[in-house]
Amino acid sequence: MTGKKKNPTSLSERRKHFAWLIPLADLRLTLTFLSLSMVLVFVATLEQVRIGIRGAQAEFFESIYGIWHYPEQFWGGEFLNPLPIPIPGGYLLGGLLIVNLLAAFITRFQWTGKKMGIQLIHLGIIMLLIGQLATQAMQEESRMQIDKGESKNYLERFHGVELAFIDVTNPDSEQVVALPQQLLEEGGTHYAKDLPFKVRILEFGKNCEFNSLPPAQQPSGPTATVNRGVIESTNLEIRPKDEDFSSEGMNFGYVIFELLDGAESMGKWAAISHPAGNHWWAQINPKMGDLAFQPIRMGGRLWGVTLRPEREYLPYSIELLGIANEFYQGTDIPFNFESEIVLKMEANQSRRALVYMNTPLRHEGKTFYQYQMNKAADYTVFQVVRNPSWLVPYIACILVSIGLLWQFSFHLARFLNKNSGHKQSMA
């Protein structure tokens, strides 16, 4: 008895083997997810006005679901606004679309040269979705501000602070022990081998208001128990506040902490982070200047404590040689910002570069974009992005392009063949 040998990669075999995937590959699901994605984009765009880009991103795109309240200004808003409406988030829709596409790959697409274009297009789309997820998970955005004529070798995160203890006793180098924001949020008591004391985190907040009270008035709230440092000497009262996600939002993170020498308390301190840098404190109020460096002396060493934007030190430094900005004639609209820099690497290697709009500096996986500039104060600010998955969207686009070319070329060739065959038969 002879029979046709079964091809395990044939569509019918795959559909039989992965029958349970067939409902997941339904085209109606794809359309539903794409429609929900449009709803998500619409809602997030509306909410961006209220909570800013970063807030909308966190609430709706970097989440499984987001809660939306129908705007009061819309028709029927006075009745519908109080209702919390769950909106599927970016992670959920992205994940479901990936599952849907993979299921379609297995149970709907023919794995033949004829259909290779379709497969490449969908593979490109899957890569785009995965690439976006990878970017959200791994991308780091920081800033680097450099004064003209000076060098910088560290970045400061746009978001996220650290409680840094700095031993400056040695004239050449400082020993830094930094507790990142996640540990401050978790609380608890922390110990590091380079720290001569333990740090007990009592309270942390991402934003606050503060006010210096007259000497006779006792502060209430988080600083009521603070008995050491600049907060105590300035009689500062802190009132916790919600984080401001808007683009102009100024978030003053704060932390209340206790230092312990063994089991014995050394006192309770508080620190506040200025969103524009702690060097601003002295300009707001000279008495608060120490918020950039509250001295703590122990064992013959001088430590300073400060709550500051999280820092990342680099194995190289950048020196700012000069800056230039140009505006469209007769307007305040910037035409060009540019910074002339020297990149100083290890082994005394260096290279000069010009960083300007759309022409960033790329070095060791980091991209330095021209971000801000102050000609009067002679400083420049770079936005520094590290995105290990930056190539993925490019590869995805190439795949989609090849797929489209393949598919259209295939149809074109078939059409031309068919057309020439028809002419020959007519002849």
Partner 1 sequence: MPIWLFPLAAMYLLVSCGEDAGIRSYTAPNHYEGPVVAWKLPEQWGENPGMGGMMAGSFHVQTTDGPRGRIGVMPFRESVEATSIVNMFARELGHADYNNSSLKDLIKPKKLASRTFDLARLEDKTGKENPPRTALLAIYRQDAQTWLFPFIADRDLINEQLDNFYSFLQSTTLRAGKEPVRAIAPSLPSSPPSSTAHQPTWEAPEHWEQKPTTQMRIGNYAVTNDEGESLDFSITSFPGEVGGILANVNRWLGQVGIDKTDESGLSRYLSDRTIDEKPAKLVLAESDEQALYAAILFHEGRSWFLKLMGDVKLARLEKENFIGLIDSFCLGDH
Q: Whole-number minimum distance, CB 361 to partner 1, in Å? A: 22
User: Is position 188 an interface residue for partner 1 (rule: CB under 8 A)?
Assistant: no
Instruction: Return the range that interacts with partner 1 (CB under 8 A); candidates 114-122, 180-188, 343-351, 401-409.
Output: 180-188
- For 241, the 3-state DSSP assignment is coil
User: Is position 270 an interface residue for partner 1 (rule: CB under 8 A)?
Assistant: no
User: Between residues 186 and 209, which has the closer beta carbon with respect to partner 1?
Assistant: 186
**DSSP of 22-88:** TGGG-HHHHHHHHHHHHHHHHHHHHHHHHHHHHHHIIIIISSSEEEEE--TTSTTHHHHTTSEEEEE
User: Is position 217 an interface residue for partner 1 (rule: CB under 8 A)?
Assistant: no
Binders in 104-143 for partner 1, by CB under 8 A: 106, 130, 133-134, 136-138
Question: Could you give the strand order of the β-sheet that contains 264-272, starting from the edge strand earlier in sequence?
Answer: 188-190, 198-205, 254-261, 264-272
Site map 148..177 versus partner 1, x via CB under 8 A = -----xx-------x---x-xxxxxxxxxx
Q: Tell me how far apart the alpha carbons of residues 372 and 350 are, in angstroms, rounded to a whole number.
A: 24
User: Between residues 199 and 355, which has the closer beta carbon with respect to partner 1?
Assistant: 199
User: Between residues 11 and 134, which has the closer beta carbon with respect to partner 1?
Assistant: 134
Site map 61..100 versus partner 1, x via CB under 8 A = ------------------------------x--xx--xx-
Contact by Cβ (8 Å): 262, 244: no
Q: Whole-number minimum distance, CB 276 to partner 1, in Å? A: 18
Q: Tell me how far apart the alpha carbons of residues 361 and 46 are, in angstroms, rounded to a whole number.
A: 35
User: Between residues 239 and 386, which has the closer beta carbon with respect to partner 1?
Assistant: 386
Q: Whole-number minimum distance, CB 289 to partner 1, in Å? A: 9
User: Is position 297 an interface residue for partner 1 (rule: CB under 8 A)?
Assistant: yes
Q: How large is the angle between the packed helices 90-107 and 116-138, nearest 10 degrees?
A: 150
User: Is position 299 an interface residue for partner 1 (rule: CB under 8 A)?
Assistant: yes
Residues paired with 386 in a beta bridge: 140, 366
User: Is position 179 an interface residue for partner 1 (rule: CB under 8 A)?
Assistant: yes
User: Is position 102 an interface residue for partner 1 (rule: CB under 8 A)?
Assistant: yes
Binders in 10-49 for partner 1, by CB under 8 A: 18, 20-21, 24
User: Is position 190 an interface residue for partner 1 (rule: CB under 8 A)?
Assistant: yes
Which residues contact residue 275 at a Cβ distance below 8 angstroms, ignoring those fewer than 6 apart? 250, 251, 252, 309
Contact by Cβ (8 Å): 140, 160: no
Contact by Cβ (8 Å): 279, 292: yes
**Which residue in the set 225, 304, 383, 390 belongs to the binding site for partner 1 (CB under 8 A)?**
304
Site map 218..257 versus partner 1, x via CB under 8 A = ---------xx---xx------------------------
User: Is position 287 an interface residue for partner 1 (rule: CB under 8 A)?
Assistant: yes
CA distances to 52, 61, 184 from 243, in Å: 11, 18, 16
Phi, psi (5° rounding) for residue 220? -110, 180
**Which residue in the set 221, 240, 267, 393 belongs to the binding site for partner 1 (CB under 8 A)?**
267
Binding residues for partner 1, how many (CB under 8 A)?
A: 60
| Chain-centroid distance, C-alpha 254 | 21
Binders in 312-341 for partner 1, by CB under 8 A: 313
Contact by Cβ (8 Å): 382, 327: no
Phi, psi (5° rounding) for residue 313? -85, 145
**DSSP of 154-166:** EEEEEEEEEEEEE
User: Between residues 233 and 409, which has the closer beta carbon with respect to partner 1?
Assistant: 233
> What is the Cα gyration radius of the chain?
29
Q: What is the dihedral of CA 138, 141, 142, 148, to 10 degrees?
A: 130
User: Between residues 178 and 402, which has the closer beta carbon with respect to partner 1?
Assistant: 178
For partner 1, the binding residues (CB under 8 A) are 18, 20-21, 24, 91, 94-95, 98-99, 102-103, 106, 130, 133-134, 136-138, 153-154, 162, 166, 168-183, 190, 192-194, 215-216, 227-228, 232-233, 267, 286-287, 293, 295, 297, 299-302, 304, 313
